[in-house]
Structure 1
Amino acid sequence: MTTNLSLEGRKKAAFDHARAGRFEDAANLLLSVLKQAPHDLGSLLLLGDVRHAAGKTQDASRAYTAAMQAMQLGNGQVAPGYQQGVQRAQARLAEYARGYDAFIESELPKAKRSKRFDQSVDILLGKSGIYLQQPTKYYFPGLPQIQFYDTSEFDWVSGLEAKTADIKRELMAVLSDHAAFKPYLERDNSQPNVKSHELVGNDDWSAFYLWKDGERVEENCARCPVTAAAFDNIPLDRLPGQAPSVLFSLLKPGAQIPPHHGLINTRLICHLPVLVPGPAWLRVGNEVHHWQEGKVCIFDDSVEHEAKNEADQTRVVLLFDIWRPELSLQEREEVTKFLGAISAYSGEKVVSGN
């Protein structure tokens, strides 16, 4: 019986069965081989081919997927004899994915899906990953994983948006002073710069602060009185000596902020786009937001995010941080005291840096 053959003998017999169109016999032999050698790339690829030829595309997809996983376990190295098989498997997996996508679209059209459900479908289809809060310094558990917040849930948003024209006039006056903006990521030569990247000390991404490290910058507030007064009724996350920060954040044409995570997850970052001369975007997790002048966006920066100004002119947003609304007053007080104590002990500001 063929099942008494060696592994190589069964693989050869399976190939002969496949060539003769005896697909089920070939599949059974290959499955017996894979019981003993589950990472055998050649057998997995041939099993996918056999299942595909038999019209069993779901079984073929499983076999091809297992082949891709086996290939990755082998550090992605593919022996020359298997390269065409791997390319064929990848092409068929893409074909199956398109078919699956078309099926889902026919059952639940994208135009009729809710936003969160649509994200779940993209994750299932492998079009998007799962992005979670990963703050680099302090994590507060139990908070919802929301990338962009619905601004209609914040009663101060409409009032701030109504001041956009006045805020823009103040911004334009500041922009006429080329020395007013400083690099957002300042280089600290007294400390190691192991994680330094090209934006450190670079004014492609620069800032003009109204509040910095929890303190009003009185000189700058005097230059922008309407903008400074706009925050009187906004729930800024007040951490003495550390937060909030309120600033005009400037991105030069073509400048890109690489993917990164924020420091803590007890705050949200807010943008009021004041100067958006062309295409510019912010990605948070698996959502991409295109800034629109005068339209606030609110997001969780502890989720991986990046941004780019694709316009040929400068983009500026008014950036500030607020308490997450899910935190109770007691929790806010606890976080404030705790982060303050850490800062006093270590001599470093938990909410500063990048």
Structure 2
Amino acid sequence: MQLPDPPLLSAAQAYLFAGDPRQADAVLDRVLAADPRHIGALLLKGEAHGQIGDSRAATAFYQAALDTAARTPNVPQGLQGALQRAREAISGFASRYEEELRGRLEQEGIRGAAMSPRIAEALDILTGRKQVFVQQPQSFYFPGLPQNQFYEREAFDWVPALEAQSEVIRAELEGVLAEEDGFRPYVESEPGRPPKANAMLGDPRWGALYLWRGGEPVARQAERCPRTMAALEAAPIPRIAGRSPMALFSRLKPGMHIPAHTGFLNTRLICHLPLVVPPGCSLRVGNEVRSWEPGKLLIFDDSIEHEAWNRGEDDRVVLLFEIWRPEISEQDRAALTVMFEYISAYDA
């Protein structure tokens, strides 16, 4: 590799100092022709294009310098200040770009309520305010489904009837707890299997009190919560031998954080009916954070990365159950049921 001529770098700096970025740019082309990974030349190219007014090109050269520096051992200490200025310049260009883009949308009346949630999210992703999250189920992926993090409760005709039973369901829960605390850790080891690599394994602070488990009602709890069991009949819960229905009271103790994770399937949605919700509780699914409101269902795709917090001072309890994804046809649901029943029997 031909080494760059040091006087060329000095000449480029002189042109920049004199306010002649185009001459500097031409000189720097010669340096980069000899060494395309010359960090100093890339930084000066960024500065030259910044003076010219081409922020996109300036960003590209600054970023190339930063990427090259990240891969280069023992970057000279004298370049650290210039690298930091490059980061600041990129941030400044990005802020101006976002400001101008949002201003252009506002000129067309596209802001606030006039901006759809999907446009707002796309804009946040474009400008780096949010990142993209997609379905990443641990065990089974069904193709062709939309990447929706949350589903709005108003889209489901069975929701009002279930929400109307919230106080009754909470009363049945309180009746059960008055007799005994039957919660067990939500994450447990499986007999005959290696321990799960899960930080929440065996931790009772994230607890479960099952009504349905593995496709069978848990007799003791089902008998004590008959109206809860009846209310669940309205939901499109999968009926899969050995697997579903699955329904439980999920309790999160104060101060607890359920780490980010993904579920096993993308053929279902998880539903939370909030029953006891102290202040400071929230759920993140993908790039969106929502809070539980008593009596109002939260419906989300748990195959997308999600996590939950209870920053309050009391327990948070929700009724948790699963439903079929609404986009999956009856024909495909029938085929999936056969597949999952075989998988469950095989695993057993």
**Deviation (angstroms), 1:84:** 1.0
Any unmatched runs of 5+ in structure 2?
none
- Look up the match of 1:230: 231
Q: Which residue of 2 aligns with 1:139?
A: 141
Structure 2 distance, partners of 1:148, 1:320, is: 15
Deviation string 1:37-88 (CA, Å, 9 cap, x unpaired) is 333222222222222234433332222222233234448x754222111211
**CA offset at residue 172 of structure 1?**
2.2
Partner of 2:89: 92
1:34 maps onto 2:32 in alignment: yes
SS in structure 2 at match of 1:248: strand
Secondary structure in 1 aligned to 2:128? Answer: coil
Structure-1 residue corresponding to 2:115: 113
Q: Report the Cα distance in structure 2 between the residues aligned to 1:135 and 1:95, rounded to whole angstroms.
A: 38
Partner of residue 284, structure 2: 283
Range 166-175 or range 120-129, more displaced: 166-175
CA separation in 2, counterparts of 1:159 and 1:39? 64
After superposition, the Cα gap between the structure-2 partners of 1:305 and 1:7, relative to the gap in structure 1 and judged at 3 Å, is farther
Q: Which residue of 2 aligns with 1:155?
A: 157
**Pick aligned residue for 2:169 from 167, 170, 183:** 167
Q: Distance in 2 between matches of 1:303 and 1:139?
A: 12
Quick check: 2:262–2:302 contact (8 Å CA) kept in 1?
yes
State the partner residue of 1:317. 318
Q: How does 1:266-281 map to 2 (within 5 A)?
A: 266-281=267-282
1:351 corresponds to: none
The residue number in structure 2 matching 1:80 is 77
Shift of 1:333: 1.1
* 3-state SS, counterpart of residue 97 of structure 2: helix
**Root-mean-square deviation (CA), in Å?**
2.1
Aligned partner of 2:234: which letter? N
In structure 1, how many angstroms separate the alpha carbons of the residues matched to 2:302 and 2:69? 35
In the other structure, the counterpart of 2:51 is 53
Q: Which residue of 115, 124, 127 corresponds with 2:126? A: 124
Q: For the residues of structure 2 that align with 1:80 and 1:237, how far apart are their CA atoms? A: 61
One-letter identity of the residue aligned with 1:95: G
**Which range moves more in the overlay, 45-54 or 135-144?**
45-54
Query: So what's the TM-score if we normalise by structure 1?
Result: 0.90
User: What do the CA deviations read for 1:151-186 (whole angstroms, capped 9, x no partner)?
Assistant: 212111011111111111122233345631111001
User: 1: CA distance between counterparts of 2:336 and 2:34?
Assistant: 55
Q: CA deviation at 1:295?
A: 0.7
1:64 match: 62
Residue aligned with 1:321, SS: strand
Code of the residue aligned with 1:330 in structure 2: it is Q
**Are 2:101 and 1:104 aligned?**
yes
The equivalent of 2:336 in structure 1 is 335
Q: Aligned partners of 1:273 and 1:36: how far apart in 2?
A: 64
Residue of structure 2 in register with 1:244 after alignment: 245
Change (3 A) 1:310 1:177: farther
The correspondence for 1:183, drawn from 182, 185, 188, is 185
Equivalent residue letter for 1:242? R
1:220 deviates by 0.4
Q: Which residue pairs with 1:326 in the alignment?
A: 327
C-alpha distance in 2 between matches for 1:99 and 1:258? 35
How far the C-alpha of 1:114 sits from its partner, in A, is 0.4
In the aligned structure 2, how far is the partner of 1:301 from the partner of 1:104? Answer: 33
Letter matched to residue 278 of structure 2: P
1:245 alignment partner AA: M
State the secondary structure of the residue aligned to 1:230: helix
Separation in structure 1 between the aligned mates of residue 104 and residue 190 of structure 2, nearest angstrom: 56
Q: Tell me the secondary structure at the aligned position of residue 306 of structure 1.
A: strand
Amino acid at match of 2:330: L
How far apart, CA to CA, are the structure 1 residues paired with 2:254 and 2:188?
20
Moved more, 108-117 or 64-73: 64-73
How many pairs are equivalent? 342
Query: Is the deviation greater in 89-98 or in 285-294?
Result: 89-98
- What are structure 1's unaligned runs of at least 5 residues? 348-354
* SS of residue in 2 equivalent to 1:254: coil
Cα distance change of structure 1 residues 314 and 29 upon mapping to structure 2, 3 Å threshold: same
Q: Secondary structure at the match of 2:151?
A: coil
Q: TM-score, length-normalised on structure 2? A: 0.91
- Determine what percentage of the aligned residue pairs are the same residue: 42
Could you tell which deviates more after superposition, 218-227 or 27-36?
27-36
Task: Report the alpha carbon displacement of residue 196 of structure 1 after superposing the two structures with TM.
Answer: 2.5
Distance 2:257 2:50 in 1: 44
Q: 1:84-105: per-residue Cα shift (whole Å, max 9, x none)?
A: 1121111122222222222222
